[in-house]
């Protein structure tokens, strides 16, 4: 905790969110599609034949610790009911793992047939004794892969490999050429990715050359940086991205120190090379995490020529349906939430329910997360209802760093990062990982939400946003008709994936300049769909303290001189955001009267910065104009002194003249004269802006506007003189002056237009 405030403990938050998290992990949807027909269990012999025919091949990371196993050896009784207790499963499995590489390798199957339909689904359920991931871990882990089969065609129609939760789009493939799915299991979390092309041990998100994509999910539309990215979780560590794993704790200590886990050691968990103790351990995102490497492969023991190192037993799920619960003491991890007075340390846990208690166990179509895939099935099979409305939140998560185009510590740029982040909607707390730097949360109910994004070694980012109602059924059905017409994996090329997504896509973004292209129900987070995070070691907390302000603030925005707008969020009074100490910022506030205020922020080495009782209106904007032009004058003067008084750039910032001397001496020259004129113009602007602010504060609107008009005239003169002086200034200083004068011009125009004084 920092900055005081009442303590938000891990346990208090966990108690509030546990039930919501459990429902989400169980595959329940926040929005409803049209109902599907009921299903019935397929007769035993037929079910076995189908299960064996489509039994998947499973590929695991070389560092995997918990393979699919049989939970029955860890069964016990609680209150007269058969259960599997977390301590028993983890400790028992760990002990068995010292004797054999894969204790009791088992896959459970459940086969359901939709009534009065040729559509039958084989489900393959994988139980692991433990789940350790980036910001989530829990006792027990059930994962599922669905194979939708047309029994009249005698072929697979759809493969669905479930990802982390309903919030994250599954990895799905319509009309696969490979009827037997190959599954790439994510390290620790066991999220399932598909591998259906000749690259058997890796995940292919889009088609490249002769290699087809492993998924047919539609692309994320609306934001240029994401327009070729299919909306599916994929397998980030196989796609060049890094995920730091976190050590699970129990009662404040690592689980391997618990007295009830004698067989569990540090080596039982994901290796240390991939692990951090918490997101706060680092001052910058980790860069040395190893990528994915395929290790052990499991195949069905009854296959004539099984792949891989080991085989698994295929067991009907009915043999474990008697287990009523998978229990365990609550685990937790830390999730920072930036607020004005404190950084709340939020504990979070997702739990797992027995498969046979979940909706998708009897209705597998409930687990289809790609609306176009569901629509394609609905078009052909009356048993499947058309997709319903789907709300989503989307953004690209980048990182803010200093730029060489600016003077030192006076400007930023943003760049991509290969370290994945984690996003959390506080209104429905379920943390989900990014994929390829994309934060995409699906099935978000309409209404107001607060999104928080964390990354190991980075300061957290948080903003408010609103998700509107979405109606995708009609457009999704239209798109699916086109997809159905292709009727083959070979036709689902990268171009089709991006271009034929039409209006039903749910992972679309677009900035303010692309708002017309953003479909209903999609909330674009960040600024123009970009959320730039700041390394913890460079982060400064910028607070906007609205207590005592004479207006009710509705919005706060922060923009850097070089990187532009980095934060823009509705607010309810005070707000806080982490900024990079190497930037130079304009903080803008807006109130219920749509009046604007602006404030200059240069954090440098400050531990935190507070804008106290921010004003809106003419006086605020005029004061900002004075501040930014004085700052620009100081930058120009300092840069000129650094080049011996101003003149054409020599080797340390200026160009030699033809006679071998230079024009940067104190004797003057064209550039020196232009620099002198520029600083005088800037000082005149600041003086006029001061007068405007004073007159506005005295309720003299005509006098304020007259002073602002004088400042505006001098602004154009200053821009002309800057161009004349630019040859005598280092490029970073000239760039900074240009950007700040553009900012000053915008704010002077706002000040003149402001009705509020």
Q: Under a CB-based contact definition with an 8 Å cutoff, are residues 114 and 384 in contact?
A: yes
More confident residue, 753 or 478: 753
Tell me the C-alpha distance between 155 and 489, whole Å.
13
Q: 470 pLDDT exceeds 80?
A: no
Same domain, 277 and 426: no
Tell me the C-alpha distance between 507 and 529, whole Å.
11
Please give the average per-residue pLDDT across 227-232, as a whole number. 90
Same domain, 682 and 606: no
Q: 664 pLDDT exceeds 70?
A: no
Q: Under a CB-based contact definition with an 8 Å cutoff, are residues 111 and 47 in contact?
A: yes
Same domain, 458 and 601: yes
Q: 155 pLDDT exceeds 90?
A: yes
Among 90, 173, 84, CA closest to 486? 173
Confidence tier at 10 by pLDDT (50, 70, 90): very low
pLDDT digits (tens, 9 = 90+) for 360-400: 999 999 999 999 999 999 999 999 999 887 788 999 999 99
How many beta carbons lie within 10 A of that of residue 79, not counting itself? 7
DSSP of 113-179: EETTSSEEEEEEEEEEEEEE-SS-EEEEEEEEEEEEEETTTTEEEEEEE--SSTTS--EEEES-S-S
Task: Please tell me the predicted confidence (pLDDT) of residue 721.
Answer: 93
The three-class DSSP label of residue 666 is coil
Highest mean pLDDT, choosing among 14-28, 319-333, 345-359, 640-654 = 319-333
Residue 11 lies in a domain: no
Task: Please tell me the predicted confidence (pLDDT) of residue 471.
Answer: 58
Same domain, 402 and 544: yes
Q: 401 pLDDT exceeds 90?
A: yes
Q: 311 pLDDT exceeds 80?
A: yes
Same domain, 241 and 358: yes
Burial of 48 (0-12, 13-18, 19+ CB in 10 A): middle
Tell me the C-alpha distance between 481 and 506, whole Å.
18
For 7, list phi and psi in degrees, rounded to 5. Answer: -80, 130
pLDDT digits (tens, 9 = 90+) for 203-219: 999 998 889 999 999 98
Task: Please tell me the predicted confidence (pLDDT) of residue 475.
Answer: 44
**How is residue 444 annotated by DSSP?**
P
* Mean pLDDT taken over the chain: 85
Please give the average per-residue pLDDT across 529-557, as a whole number. 94
Q: 29 pLDDT exceeds 80?
A: no
Q: Under a CB-based contact definition with an 8 Å cutoff, are residues 313 and 77 in contact?
A: no
Same domain, 675 and 586: no
Tell me the C-alpha distance between 78 and 381, whole Å.
44
Q: Under a CB-based contact definition with an 8 Å cutoff, are residues 194 and 159 in contact?
A: yes
Task: Please tell me the predicted confidence (pLDDT) of residue 500.
Answer: 33
pLDDT digits (tens, 9 = 90+) for 233-254: 999 999 999 988 988 888 778 8
Total domains in the chain come to: 3
Residue 578 lies in a domain: yes
Task: Please tell me the predicted confidence (pLDDT) of residue 280.
Answer: 75
Same domain, 373 and 400: no
Burial of 724 (0-12, 13-18, 19+ CB in 10 A): middle
Angle separating helix axes 670-697 and 731-753, nearest 10 degrees? 30
Same domain, 695 and 553: no
Structure tokens at 128: 């692991």
How many beta carbons lie within 10 A of that of residue 623, not counting itself? 24
Same domain, 598 and 627: no
Q: Under a CB-based contact definition with an 8 Å cutoff, are residues 740 and 632 in contact?
A: yes
Residue 418 lies in a domain: yes
Same domain, 542 and 687: no
Confidence tier at 59 by pLDDT (50, 70, 90): very high
Same domain, 231 and 277: yes
How many beta carbons lie within 10 A of that of residue 184, not counting itself? 26
More confident residue, 6 or 436: 436
Tell me the C-alpha distance between 94 and 260, whole Å.
12
Confidence tier at 598 by pLDDT (50, 70, 90): very high
Give the strand pairing for 447-454 and 422-425: antiparallel
In a 13 Å sphere around the CA of 245, the CA atoms on its Cβ side amount to 22
Q: Under a CB-based contact definition with an 8 Å cutoff, are residues 277 and 109 in contact?
A: no
Residue 163 lies in a domain: yes
Same domain, 597 and 676: no
C-alpha triplet 123, 129, 135: angle, nearest 5°: 95
Tell me the C-alpha distance between 144 and 22, whole Å.
16
More confident residue, 160 or 648: 160
H helix runs in 574-661, sequence order: 618-642
Among 397, 283, 337, CA closest to 575? 337
Please give the average per-residue pLDDT across 168-195, as a whole number. 95
Residue 123 lies in a domain: yes
Counting every residue, how long is the chain?
Answer: 757
Q: Under a CB-based contact definition with an 8 Å cutoff, are residues 234 and 205 in contact?
A: yes
For 377, list phi and psi in degrees, rounded to 5. Answer: -70, -40
pLDDT digits (tens, 9 = 90+) for 315-351: 999 999 999 999 988 776 666 777 776 665 555 555 6
Q: 716 pLDDT exceeds 70?
A: yes
Tell me the C-alpha distance between 683 and 630, whole Å.
6
pLDDT digits (tens, 9 = 90+) for 414-433: 999 999 999 988 876 678 89
Strands (E), 293-366: 294-300, 310-316, 325-327, 334-338, 343-347
Q: Under a CB-based contact definition with an 8 Å cutoff, are residues 625 and 748 in contact?
A: yes
Q: 649 pLDDT exceeds 60?
A: no
Tell me the C-alpha distance between 598 and 94, whole Å.
59
More confident residue, 351 or 173: 173
In a 13 Å sphere around the CA of 3, the CA atoms on its Cβ side amount to 16
Task: Please tell me the predicted confidence (pLDDT) of residue 226.
Answer: 83
More confident residue, 17 or 432: 432
Q: 18 pLDDT exceeds 50?
A: no
Residue 10 lies in a domain: no
Please give the average per-residue pLDDT across 176-186, as a whole number. 95
Residue 26 lies in a domain: no
Task: Please tell me the predicted confidence (pLDDT) of residue 641.
Answer: 84
Task: Please tell me the predicted confidence (pLDDT) of residue 11.
Answer: 28
Domain that holds residue 129: 38-380
- C-alpha distances in Å from residue 296, one per residue of 311, 445, 731: 10, 40, 55
Residue where one domain finishes, among candidates 380, 406, 421: 380
- Going 196 to 199 to 200 to 204, the CA torsion angle's sign is negative
pLDDT digits (tens, 9 = 90+) for 685-701: 999 999 999 999 999 99
Confidence tier at 221 by pLDDT (50, 70, 90): low
Give the strand pairing for 649-650 and 654-654: antiparallel
The three-class DSSP label of residue 530 is strand
Lowest mean pLDDT among 214-228, 289-303, 308-322: 214-228
Please give the average per-residue pLDDT across 289-313, as a whole number. 93
Please give the average per-residue pLDDT across 604-627, as a whole number. 95
Residue 690 lies in a domain: yes
Among 623, 620, 625, 626, CA closest to 757? 620
Tell me the C-alpha distance between 108 and 162, whole Å.
15
Q: 710 pLDDT exceeds 50?
A: yes
Please give the average per-residue pLDDT across 431-455, as a whole number. 91
């Amino acid at each position: 905790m920092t900055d005081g405030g009442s303590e938000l403990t891990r346990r208090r938050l966990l108690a509030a969110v546990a039930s919501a998290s459990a429902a989400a992990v169980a595959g329940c949807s926040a929005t409803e599609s049209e109902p599907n027909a009921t299903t019935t269990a397929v007769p035993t012999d037929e079910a076995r034949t189908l299960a064996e025919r489509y039994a998947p091949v499973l590929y695991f990371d070389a560092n995997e610790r918990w393979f699919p196993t049989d939970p029955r050896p860890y069964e016990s009784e609680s209150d007269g009911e058969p259960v599997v207790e977390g301590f028993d499963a983890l400790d028992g499995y760990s002990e068995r793992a010292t004797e054999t590489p894969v204790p009791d390798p088992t896959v459970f199957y459940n086969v359901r047939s939709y009534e009065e339909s040729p559509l039958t689904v084989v489900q393959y359920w994988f139980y692991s004794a433990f789940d350790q991931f980036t910001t989530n871990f829990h006792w027990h882990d059930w994962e599922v892969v669905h194979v939708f089969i047309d029994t009249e065609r005698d072929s697979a129609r759809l493969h669905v490999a479930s990802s982390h939760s309903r919030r994250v789009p599954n990895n799905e493939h319509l009309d696969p050429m490979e009827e037997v799915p190959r599954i790439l299991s994510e390290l620790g979390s066991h999220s399932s990715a598909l591998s259906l092309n000749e690259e058997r041990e890796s995940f292919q998100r889009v088609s490249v050359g002769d290699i087809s994509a492993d998924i047919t999910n539609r692309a994320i539309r609306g934001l240029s940086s994401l327009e070729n990215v299919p909306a599916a979780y994929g397998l980030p560590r196989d796609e060049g991205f890094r995920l730091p794993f976190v050590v699970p704790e129990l009662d404040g200590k690592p689980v391997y120190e618990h007295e009830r886990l004698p067989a569990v050691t540090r080596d039982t968990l994901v290796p240390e090379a991939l692990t951090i103790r918490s997101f706060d351990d680092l001052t910058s995102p980790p860069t040395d995490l190893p990528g994915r490497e395929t290790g052990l492969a499991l195949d069905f023991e009854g296959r004539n020529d099984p792949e891989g190192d080991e085989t698994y037993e295929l067991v009907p799920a009915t043999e474990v349906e008697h287990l009523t619960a998978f229990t365990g003491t609550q685990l937790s991890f830390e999730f920072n939430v930036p607020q004005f007075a404190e950084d709340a340390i939020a504990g979070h846990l997702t739990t797992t329910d027995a498969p046979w208690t979940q909706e998708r166990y009897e209705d597998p179509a409930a687990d289809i997360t790609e609306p176009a895939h569901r629509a394609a099935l609905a078009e052909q099979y009356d048993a499947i209802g058309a997709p319903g409305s789907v709300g989503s939140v989307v953004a690209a998560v980048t990182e803010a760093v200093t730029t060489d185009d600016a003077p030192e510590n006076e400007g930023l740029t943003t760049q991509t990062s290969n370290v994945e982040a984690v996003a959390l909607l506080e209104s429905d707390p379920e943390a989900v990982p990014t994929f390829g730097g994309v934060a995409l949360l699906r099935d978000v109910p309409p209404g107001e939400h607060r999104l928080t994004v964390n990354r190991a070694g980075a300061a957290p980012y948080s903003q408010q946003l609103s998700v509107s109602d979405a109606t995708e059924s009609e457009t999704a059905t239209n798109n699916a008709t086109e997809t159905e017409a292709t009727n083959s994996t070979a036709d689902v090329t990268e171009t089709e994936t991006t271009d034929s997504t039409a209006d039903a896509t749910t992972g679309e973004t677009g900035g303010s300049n692309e708002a017309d292209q953003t479909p209903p129900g999609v909330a674009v987070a960040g600024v123009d769909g970009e959320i730039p995070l700041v390394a913890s070691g460079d982060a400064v907390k910028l607070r906007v303290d609205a207590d005592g302000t004479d207006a009710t603030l509705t919005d706060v925005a922060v923009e850097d001189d070089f990187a532009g707008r980095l934060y823009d969020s509705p607010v309810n009074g005070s707000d806080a955001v982490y900024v990079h100490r190497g930037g130079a910022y304009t903080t803008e506030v807006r109130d219920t009267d749509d009046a604007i205020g602006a404030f200059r922020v240069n954090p440098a080495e400050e531990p935190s910065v507070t804008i106290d009782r921010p004003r809106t209106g003419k006086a605020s904007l005029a004061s900002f104009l004075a501040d930014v032009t004085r700052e620009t004058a100081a930058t120009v003067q300092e840069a000129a002194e650094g080049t011996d008084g101003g003149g054409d750039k020599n080797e340390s910032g200026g160009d030699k003249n033809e006679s071998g001397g230079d024009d940067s001496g104190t004797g003057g020259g064209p550039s020196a004269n232009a620099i002198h004129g520029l600083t005088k113009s800037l000082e005149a602007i600041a003086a006029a802006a001061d007068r405007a602010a004073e007159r506005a504060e005295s309720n003299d609107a005509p006098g304020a506007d007259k002073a602002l008009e004088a400042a505006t005239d001098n602004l154009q003169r200053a821009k002309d003189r800057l161009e004349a002086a630019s040859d005598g200034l280092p490029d970073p200083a000239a760039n900074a002056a240009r950007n700040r004068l553009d900012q000053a011009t915008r704010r002077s125009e706002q000040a003149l237009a402001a009705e509020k004084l």
